[in-house]
Amino acid sequence: MCNYFADCDCVDHYDEGYHVVSPAYGRDYKNAKEARKDWFDGKDFVYESIGGGGRYCSKRDFGPDERIEIRFNKKADMIMIGN
């Protein structure tokens, strides 16, 4: 498993204990840098994890130790970040 979690794009982080989100309001990103910037800028995303029901969320809805998977590029790509 990668030890540099904040900037890691690797798939080794697929395990329990993370939340899946995608851009809200029709936004999408071509690269991870854009997705990461909007997350840390507090923009809205859609909660995609099981039981999320498509509700809107942002960085402020999660604790500092929680892990977030952001789906982008028409949900074909992902980045895993720490909140």
pLDDT value for 3: 42
Q: Cα–Cα distances in Å, from 65 out to 29, 73, 76? A: 25, 26, 26
The predicted-structure confidence for 30-78, as pLDDT tens digits, reads as follows 999 999 999 999 999 999 877 666 899 999 999 988 999 999 999 999 9
**What is the model's pLDDT at position 16?**
59
Could you state, in order of their start, the residue ranges of all structural domains in the chain?
5-82
Question: What amino acid occupies position 37?
Answer: K
The model's pTM: 0.77
Are 35 and 69 in contact by the 8 Å Cβ rule? The answer is no
Cα 25 versus chain centre, distance: 15
Phi-psi category of residue 77: left, alpha or beta, with phi > 0 → left and psi -120 to 50 → alpha: beta
